[in-house]
Amino acid sequence: FDLGTVKMGRSQNRLTRAGKIFPTRPYMSTEQARAPEVDPRTDAYSVGVLLYETLSRVVPFDAEHPMGLLTQHMYTEPTPLVRLESAMQPISLEADAVVLKCLAKKPEDRYASMTDLAADLARLDRGQPPAALADLLARAEREQDQALLDAARQEHRGGNARRASPFAIAMTGVV
């Protein structure tokens, strides 16, 4: 499975030229779409796309044309997993927070390293709130996202027995 970039040889694809590096589009980060330098936070983004797809059965961004997909990666916020009906099972707000932190548009808002991501996944595994949850709640308050705030209140009261997919927990051994 390719999360990063592939080197293209002779290609008819209009988005690439022979010898250029181009990522697998559904998993590319915003900075790969813009073409500046990339760092380990790019990998966190790609893992976030993979987690999102695994937990929901859909990729966070999809378009018929490559430029539409690039535009979504750069400018469209992913729908929180707690709002998706396609999710394989109910997703906890905590697991959603980890995935959404991976998918942050600005690299500085993502996990700085795969070690940091693994630490948050380990917190989930132990039943502890991930560090990403505070980021998600701050964003929800800032954007006055009542649905996310209500989901947080519901889980805090213990009225929601939602859990992350075993795949998200298994990712601690991968990252």
pLDDT in tens, 111-157: 999 999 999 999 999 989 999 998 888 888 887 777 777 777 776 55
Question: Whole-model pTM?
Answer: 0.71
30 contacts 71 by C-beta, under 8 angstroms = no
Of the ranges 7-11, 26-30, 62-66, the best mean pLDDT one: 62-66
Task: Report pLDDT for 110.
Answer: 93
Task: Report pLDDT for 122.
Answer: 94
- Residue 165 pLDDT class (50, 70, 90 cuts): very low
Of the ranges 32-36, 45-49, 72-76, 162-166, the best mean pLDDT one: 45-49
The residue with tokens 């893992």 is 47
CA–CA distance, 92 with 148 (Å, rounded to integer) = 11
- Residue 14 pLDDT class (50, 70, 90 cuts): very low
Work out whether the CA dihedral 128, 132, 133, 134 comes out positive or negative.
positive
Asked whether the predicted pLDDT for residue 97 surpasses 70, the reply is yes
135 contacts 97 by C-beta, under 8 angstroms = yes
Average pLDDT over residues 14-25: 45
